[in-house]
Structure 1
Amino acid sequence: MFKLMIVDDEMLVRMGLKTTIDWPKLGFQIAGEADNGLKALEIARSIRPDLVLTDIRMPKLDGLGLMKALKKELPRTKILILSCYQDFDYVREALQLGALDYIPKLSMQVEELEQVFQRAKAVLEEEAEQERMADAGWEPERYRSLREMQGCFFQDLLKAGLTGADLAERLTRLKLRLAKSGRYGAVCLRVDDLRAIRQRNGGTGLALLESPLLNIIDEAFENSGLRGNVFMGREGEFGLVFSFAEGTEAGSIPEELGRFCGHLRETIQLYFNLSVSFGIGPVASDLLQLKEIYNQASEAAGYRLYQGKGSVNFFREEGFAVEPLLDAEQEQNLRELLESGRCAEAESLVLGLLDRASSGAVKPPMLLRQELLEVILTFSRVLKQYGGRLDQPPAPPGGDPMIVLAEVETLGDWKLWFHDFAAWFGHRLNELKAQRFGREVSRALEYINRHYATELKLGEIADQIGMNETYFSHLFKKETGANFTDYVNGLRIEKAKQLLRNSTDNIYEIAATVGYANVSYFSKVFKQIVGISPAEYKKGLNIK
């Protein structure tokens, strides 16, 4: 039986706690009580309680001060916080100091109190088990608790797999709620809005909530009557594995897991005001298949990208769309829009392609993320032409676009970010052009990039920017290093090379597309710049 001390400055609260709960039944004896933190500390030094239930607001020494003193003098003593104050700042500091849980004094019912103390008892029992294992020759310095040992077991299972003999032995020793035979299911739970949670919690992310979330998930197992275990994955991810009797119909298990996930989602939203999404893997008939079905559950959780936050996603085995998000022609169109400064049109092009890709038979989320990376790289290449880089100041909205893409959770979130990014890109491109060429030549280059396929005359462009033709010709060559005609021809031939590489158009069609009405003149200019004719260039591509 574990020793409990109750600390509260209200006598009625202490009396109520002592008389309304059957403490011996829960495995506790009340070894002491106090009405302030200083007295509690003095008593604790004498009785060395296993668990302290303390109020936060008390005279002489408050609950947080008592926690700090106990942590220093009696580090093995566990603490529960009792308070009327709902301010999360108190909760956060208490959890940082190592409190097991937080009890709102005015709203907690007896059944809920008993559940909190049952979880606290489980922690104390785990530590006792850890000591027993240390005596038996296990390496306790590697583990903080039985739960962590269970987590290490699942990590080992998912990384490298385990042999049947090793699996059976560890199932028993670690008290895992998994049968050695039957059917098995796996669920991957992911906390939504993880990036915002990190920012809100000063970079600590979910660290303060991991233990309470594990407790809630354990409680969900108990309430549902399902058998299984929960473990921590990467940040913001929890793995759930389920064990079903051999006679359970395989077809009914995914539906049952879906209901379980729906109830758990509502519970986490109620208690933590957090949104969570789920991936459910296929059913296995061998415990050694847990690695495979959990990886498939993790893959299913990735479909949050399409389905949104709070979604429950089942593993998909059917085929998917194979058409790329951005083919060669569309990539060329995107580059031309960006080079000519038409960033709003570039944004519309990308979002239109994305809407098409996310309708109907969608492709695996990881594949779509790779294609979105190619979109960002196209932006990066254009920026680099003018001496800019995405990974150098001034930073795009949200920071490094590669990190944003890796962490974004839904297409809706990515579209919102991309809207701001496209606006930032346009502004940054104009800055770089102005730094490199000056305002007048930058305007001229923007006009040329937009209209290179039409008949361009030096005088008309000079008029466009309000400058004398002779002076503009001199300024253009000074800043770009090329005269007007050579620059336009160079641009057109680069566009023609892209079309020769990526399109099936005939040479005369490509000539017209890039602004040459006469295919012979086009071939002459192409050979002057490239060194070979368009036909030879295309033939060389086919040989490669």
Structure 2
Amino acid sequence: MTKIRKVIIADDERLVRVGLMHTVDWERWNMEVVGNAPNGEMAWELYEQLRPDLVITDIVMPRMDGIQLAAKIKAANPEAKILFLSCHSDFAYAQQGMELGASGYLLKTAMDSETVDRYLMKITEEWNRTSTPSVDDTNAMYRTWYTEGRNSEQLNQTIGQHIDRLSAEGVILFGLFGLHEESQQLLLQKLEEYGGTDHACDITPIFHLHAEGAPFVIIAPSSDAERLTPLLLDCSNANKAVIWKKTDRLPSRSDFMEEISRMMKTAELERQYEYRTDAVSAPIMKAVIYIDEHLDEPIVSSQLAESIGLSRSHFSTLFKKELGVSFLEFLHRRRLRKASELLVQTDWRINLIGEKVGMEDNKHFSKWFKGYTGMTPSEFRENKRATKSNK
């Protein structure tokens, strides 16, 4: 889907603002005018509120001129585009504007649709040169990197653009090895379904790389990483041949392709020597399987720790270190996921679903469920079914 770029227009002459809004074919350039202002101060307020991609501004305006406005906008977002409106007498100001990185300036006395279109074409080409590659383009680069060893620097740059856009200071890199094409597509589908089932499991993987034969890689903000782990546990449980790894928290400007290469080499050695060091150790994996198979029963951490041969304190520390979340929170999230699935996929009574996740008290179950999702179980069921019927 083509991105629609937002535009605001600032000029103290109303006729200029109205003329630009209604005489330019903004749709042709995949742009939309989302606001206009008669002075610089109001334009800055609009900018902070709407964060437009392009600001068309008069140079000489009351209460903050266009040069001051452009300087503030460029300081807040160097990627924002500025197009100045000016008169011949504003030439000295226009030079200052160009030094700020403006894309050009339009003389009001010679402004026509053809001239405006020429600048909008120039700005569109600038966006096209600096825009983040599409998912398909990125995965094509990844395939080339995997088979020919090229595009490493370009892929690192692309990943960095995604991280910058989401203001992630630290990220976790997950790699799944031995996942066939069909399984990769299934994982993509699961990622879409899993993110948005409820608030507790709301994950947004910011970047993924996949190509036939290559590792399936997910790079996520460290704040979302703990929510991805259970999903990848399910994936590896379903296919015992899959090896998966994850890094510690990485700075946002890491050499991600080097990290992927390192994980690939480790996975290959483990495959050759038949030695596994998955991201989750055998004792914790055993605990996870037990939790999933006994969600309808009381589960006490001390008893579970004893059953897998660990002390309670060691179990708690190891569980949090490997899964990124405490035992109790993990248990709640698994129960919440199962309850959510049963509410959508069955017509069972609410109290029965509560029992299936270890909560026989119907009021307690409803209160607990609402605490995580913001909805009662009945509201959640109605909302999901209404959404599904409208698709």
Q: TM-score with structure 1 length normalisation? A: 0.26
Q: Relative CO higher for 1 or 2, CA cutoff 8 Å, sep ≥ 6?
A: 2
Q: TM-score with structure 2 length normalisation? A: 0.34
Is the radius of gyration larger for structure 1 or structure 2? 1
